[in-house]
Chain A
Amino acid sequence: MEKNKGKRKKYVAHNQKCAYLFLLPSMFILSVFVFVPLIASFVISITNMNIFMKDVSFAGLKNFIQLFKDSRVSNATFNSLYFTLLEVPLQIGLALLMTVCLAKNNRYCKLLRSIYYLPFVCSMTAIGIVWSMLLDPNMGLFAYWLKQAGFDTIAFLKDPKWAMPTVIAVTAWKGFGYTLTLMAAAVLNIPQSLYEAADMDGAGGFQKFIHITIPGIWSTISFCIVTSTIGAMQMFDQAYVMTQGGPLNKTETVVQYIYDRGFQTAPYNLGYASAISVYLFVIVAVMTLVLRKFVLNRGEGADE
């Protein structure tokens, strides 16, 4: 018995060594592009450092104290949260709604799914430029249509009230095709027998949706929620291309402010920009933790 156990241990140990070998390439890439920059930004955040790398000195918590006094940081945090809290439900909800109609493998549904997936493949920069041209209040097509229809033109991306909702709408429009594809695949994987059983029990369409479809694809939905939340908290391209953070900083997100402080505004304070990155890291980490607890794996209990 004892002997046998030892043998097994050896076998496992050998197997593990092999596993490390397989892990090596991705570990290398991860450490160069993730762990080293991650640790570096923690270190830079407690120094006085600008982009010229001259006169680097230890700053302690100075950058973090400055951060909590900076109204542009709180404004950017608000904008990021505003964006996330609206964009994620909108994108997921829209995808879920479409899934109900399009989770069939006929030619028509496949075509529509591909069409909705198209914007996701395009670059955000190109999409941003095209939308800002369409929505321009002076030269845009939408303004022209509104005018023809007898309405006042809305300066979608220029009006402090409308800018963020517009950015949210464009982002949801671009992203929901991807979510839709994932969800449709998950729905198609639900055993048909469940629906047949529900039919026999006399369940209606809505009931089937709530009691079979949603639980059946919950793991996919929760995956989408977590990934799009993390993505939304790091929103940058859209606002950078369409509004440059304006009007009145109403669309300036945390990442954009980091970029502005580090690379756009002299004296290019990398220490301070890194401190804001660490602050964002903490926010995202907390949000992920909360989401894991309440969203991910709910109703499955497979993990742990």
Chain B
Amino acid sequence: MKKKIVSTLLCAAICLASLAGCGGGAQGGQDTASNAPAGTSVETADGQTETAADQAASGEKITLEFWNVFTGSDGDILRQIVDNYNSINTDNIEIQMDIMPNDQLQQKLPAAIATGTAPDIVLFGVENLAPYVSNDSLEDISDFWEVTGVDKSNILDNVLELSHVNGKLYGTPMQYNVTYLYWNKDLFRDAGLDPEKAPETLDELAEYAEKLTDPSKNQFGLALPTNVTYMQFLWANGGDADDPETNRNLLDSKENLKTLEWLQDLTVNKKVSPSSITGPEADTMLQAGQIGMYMSGPWQINGLRTQGIDFGIAPCVAGSAGAFSPAGGCSYVIPKGVDEEHRLAAYKFMQYWLTDDILKEWSQKNGFPVWSKTLMEDSEIQNDEVLNSISKATEIGRPYNLGYSLASQIDKDVMIPLFETVMTGAATPEEALKKASQAMDGVLAQ
């Protein structure tokens, strides 16, 4: 019997070991990733001693480690800007950039901060600020404006606000975006719709989507991925998910029910969207010209241009309460524990990013909206067709649970399952809403 227990324990241990092996493998991969820049920094240190005499005059070289999540084509443009900064800056700063998927960054960064091996600059989505700040893992950089002399009044308030948590500045804005409505003009023409006029209301959106759907051509009117949230629809009819200020659950409302019924009709009865697709799949189909309309961020623009799709960009549609669009963005942050010297060097790079030349390059190349007031007056920017339509769509931006530490859990446990259940027809909107509301209570009670 004893033997049995021991062997059972061993078996179970082996099973857990392979579990650990799983995590270990991933971590091993990360180690090599983080070793690479570490290795190179040693090399530079060596190089430095060799040329110590030359360097003595201009001060010591400062190497900044910079992590970000720009795995797409925008990452290449970011790399160009950073490389250029490395060659032109006069402060002897060298930035070593490490791009990784968001999942990986979220696994590595907290551990790196806890063990004092964090990078000097991190660039990530502003939705991450709150959880990191509530765990005291980011540096308060409220003195940024004073130290660098950057004029903060030149930046739009709503953009600046995204980098604040509890009134303190934890990051500097890098880009700002809301969700737009993209439409394929060729498909509009084929369906007998005016290619220059995007739908403006929920009803129009539904009507257009139905007209644009043609199963025989594997063509869909409106792509609605199931792994994201659709706050723009809930808001349009005056509904909402929760109130971060008071921790209140706002899900169970007549307005939300009405919106969800409309959404289920659209997906289950009218079948205007490919069933259960993910965001990246929808991106691919949009670029392949199989999608009439799609709601997404500015990052679609480059792909659509490359594929030669004739597309338009419009604001999200309005409902009975108006039109809104969930806002987001990315900020440069400094992890806790970075020393004064590196912090000031990081400030210099952040300052460089906030110059109009760089912001202009970024906006023009990637199609991100402009939020520097002086740059908005720029004639080239004003004559850019894409940027023009974007700035209109950007006006209706509305923050959704930004700065709320439960935001990611609310999305994962409540909102995404709610939309997915409704859109796949797995339950009636009423049941789905009731269940989601209970789940929301559970999350908010934490």
Residues of chain A whose beta carbon lies under 8 Å from any beta carbon of chain B: 30, 33-35, 37-38, 41, 50-55, 72, 136-139, 155, 158-160, 226, 230-231, 233-234, 236, 244, 246-249, 255, 260, 263-268, 277, 281, 284-285, 288-289, 292, 304
- Identify 23 residue pairs between A and B in the complex whose beta-carbon atoms are under 8 Å apart, listed by A's number: A33-B20, A34-B14, A34-B20, A38-B13, A38-B17, A54-B114, A54-B137, A138-B218, A139-B284, A155-B275, A155-B276, A159-B275, A231-B18, A246-B226, A247-B276, A248-B426, A265-B413, A266-B131, A266-B408, A267-B409, A277-B16, A284-B12, A285-B9
Of the candidates A33, A72, A137, A155, which one forms a contact with B17 in the assembled complex, judged by CB atoms under 8 Å apart? Answer: A33
Q: Contacts of B22 on A, CB cut-off 8 Å?
A: 234, 236, 255
Which of A139, A159, A233 is packed against the most chain B CB atoms within 10 Å?
A: A139
Closest B residue, CB atoms, query A278: B16
Of the candidates B24, B277, B421, which one forms a contact with A158 in the assembled complex, judged by CB atoms under 8 Å apart? Answer: B277
Of the candidates A249, A255, A264, which one forms a contact with B417 in the assembled complex, judged by CB atoms under 8 Å apart? Answer: A249
A288 touches B16 (CB 8 A): no
Of the candidates A244, A247, A263, which one forms a contact with B107 in the assembled complex, judged by CB atoms under 8 Å apart? Answer: A263
Q: Is B278 an interface residue (CB 8 A)?
A: yes
B113 touches A52 (CB 8 A): yes
> What's the least CB distance linking A274 to chain B, in Å?
11
Of the candidates B4, B106, B417, which one forms a contact with A263 in the assembled complex, judged by CB atoms under 8 Å apart? Answer: B106
Q: Contacts of A37 on B, CB cut-off 8 Å?
A: 16-17, 20
Closest B residue, CB atoms, query A250: B426
A52 touches B110 (CB 8 A): yes
Q: Is B274 an interface residue (CB 8 A)?
A: yes
A288 touches B8 (CB 8 A): yes
Which of A55, A72, A158 is packed against the most chain B CB atoms within 10 Å?
A: A158
Q: Contacts of A247 on B, CB cut-off 8 Å?
A: 226, 276, 420, 424
B9-42 residues with Cβ-Cβ distance < 8 A to A are 9, 11-22, 24
Of the candidates A30, A52, A138, which one forms a contact with B135 in the assembled complex, judged by CB atoms under 8 Å apart? Answer: A52
Question: A301 CA to B131 CA in the complex, in Å?
Answer: 57
> What's the least CB distance linking B117 to chain A, in Å?
13
Q: Contacts of B20 on A, CB cut-off 8 Å?
A: 33-34, 37-38
Closest B residue, CB atoms, query A37: B20
A34 touches B227 (CB 8 A): no
> What's the least CB distance linking B201 to chain A, in Å?
28
Question: A63 CA to B310 CA in the complex, in Å?
Answer: 53
B113 touches A33 (CB 8 A): no
Closest B residue, CB atoms, query A54: B135
Question: A304 CA to B405 CA in the complex, in Å?
Answer: 56
Of the candidates B106, B136, B274, B278, which one forms a contact with A54 in the assembled complex, judged by CB atoms under 8 Å apart? Answer: B136
> What's the least CB distance linking A287 to chain B, in Å?
9
Q: Contacts of A292 on B, CB cut-off 8 Å?
A: 4, 7-8, 11
Of the candidates B16, B111, B131, B274, which one forms a contact with A137 in the assembled complex, judged by CB atoms under 8 Å apart? Answer: B274
Sorted from nearest, which 8 A-B pairs have the closest CB atoms? Answer: A158-B276, A52-B135, A285-B12, A266-B131, A34-B17, A266-B408, A51-B110, A288-B11
B8 touches A266 (CB 8 A): no
> What's the least CB distance linking B419 to chain A, in Å?
11
A138-B274, A236-B22 known, 19 other contacts, Cβ within 8 Å: A33-B20, A34-B13, A34-B20, A37-B20, A38-B16, A51-B110, A53-B114, A138-B218, A155-B275, A160-B424, A160-B426, A231-B18, A266-B407, A277-B19, A281-B15, A284-B15, A285-B12, A288-B11, A292-B4
Which of A37, A38, A52, A304 is packed against the most chain B CB atoms within 10 Å?
A: A52
Q: Mark B397-436, 1 if CB is under 8 A from A, else 0.
A: 0000000011111001100010011001010000000000
